[in-house]
Amino acid sequence: METLNKKKVLQVCAIDLSVDALLKPLILASTEEGYIVHGACTDEGRFSKLEQEGIILHNIPIERRISIKSNLRSIWQLYKLIKKEKYDIVHVHTPIAALLGRIAAKMAGVKHIIYTAHGFYFHEEMPKNTYRLFYIIEKYAARFMTDWLLLQSKEDYDLSVQGKFKNTNRIIHLSNGVDIWNKFNLSLIDQQNQDELKKELKVMNDDIVFSFIGRLVEEKGIFELVRAFKAVNKKYPNTKLLLIGGLLESERDQDSYNKLMEELNHPSIILAGFQKNIPLYLSISNIFVLPSYREGLPRSIIEAMAMSKPIIATNIRGCREEVFEGENGFLVEKANVESLEEAMEKFLLNPEICNMFGINSRRICEELFDEQKVLQKQIKLFNKLTR
């Protein structure tokens, strides 16, 4: 009888990687709070692992692009699932999945539809007409198919309020966070594990390691990073570039990845691939770099900040909410190799700044990006809607 009284939540995103990397803490915290939580997304190989961790998942193929026939099929499958399971809340994430999920939830008569924008799809670098199109889609999907709009980026929040996407009392600045106490915490790293990883990656104790975490695609600024690093490495041979990440089969930008592979044949570039123990890899890094063209509120920067690393990032939405120029890092121009190279060299010439910025990163992270605070905002909203 107790189970029958529990409220049900459906978390919708495009792929299982998003569940594993982004949504798992919220799903587990909601379950602990007493909710029955399901996830709906495309199974790209992680379902078995996630289900072993107690997460209930439904395999609904969702393409990460506009494809009318496929999108309609996804909406129909989501609609059938929602009608069958009778969810009290449908909470959607990632641009295409969020739009399809909201349409399905609205059709199914769900009382509470929540959209967390991890970063609006439209951004300042788009052509004007393209920007306007996606702005209108986001605005009216928020107004007519969303009950609560949660924004990770403060810039997105301000834009939503100014653009009157919804009544202000239905728009929440959520922020983003990681587990800064039990996972991303330098004091928890074992020295022996560090030494073993350095040996495996052929990193010497006097090497200066620049690290990057993300998809290896053009829009992450990876080409500029590799070219800037090669120029820096010629002057400072004791530098290394540690690339953590890869490319998913569902990724749109396969061409740039294949082109990139040709540029990575360099003795000081380490291609680590996707990794589970990100804190350990960050612990052997000195400086974190994310030269993206567009972001929401990047989690990778927060992870590096929690591990007391100074940051180099592009001066774009999201990144400039985490990196404070001259305090915990440097902001560089987008798609600019020279600007990136100059920032990297500043750290190499001033090691004391590295240390000071790293300390500041951890302090800022504790103040602004504690995952527990972000989770509690969402649980509080769930409780308000269902109890």
Question: What digits encode the pLDDT tens for the residues 121-143?
Answer: 888 778 999 999 999 999 999 99
pLDDT in tens, 12-38: 999 999 999 999 999 999 999 999 999
pLDDT of residue 309: 98
SS3 356: helix
* E strand or H helix at 267: none
Domain ranges of the chain: 2-177+370-386, 186-368
Query: Which fold would CATH assign to domain 2-177+370-386?
Result: Rossmann fold (3.40.50)
Separation between Cα atoms, residue 115 and residue 55, nearest integer Å? 20
- Side-chain half-sphere exposure of 329, counting CA atoms within 13 A: 30
Average pLDDT score over residue span 293-301: 94
**Positive or negative: CA dihedral 67, 69, 70, 74:** positive
Question: Residue 274 burial by CB count (10 A; 0-12/13-18/19+): exposed, middle or buried?
Answer: middle
| Token pair of 121 as six digits | 């799809």
Average pLDDT score over residue span 156-181: 97
pLDDT in tens, 74-120: 999 999 999 999 999 999 999 999 999 999 999 999 999 999 999 99
pLDDT of residue 5: 79
H-only helix segments in 329-386: 337-349, 351-368, 371-386
Name the band, by pLDDT with cuts 50, 70 and 90, for residue 58: very high
Separation between Cα atoms, residue 241 and residue 168, nearest integer Å? 44
Name the band, by pLDDT with cuts 50, 70 and 90, for residue 64: confident
Q: Which residues are registered as beta bridge partners of 116?
A: 150
pLDDT of residue 228: 98
pLDDT of residue 1: 37
- Whole-prediction pTM value? 0.91
pLDDT in tens, 233-279: 999 999 999 999 988 766 656 677 778 888 898 999 999 999 999 99
> In whole numbers, what is the pLDDT of the chain averaged over residues?
95
Report, at the CATH architecture level, how domain 186-368 is classified.
Answer: 3-Layer(aba) Sandwich (3.40)
pLDDT of residue 4: 56
Would the CATH topology of 2-177+370-386 be identical to that of 186-368?
A: yes
Name the band, by pLDDT with cuts 50, 70 and 90, for residue 2: very low
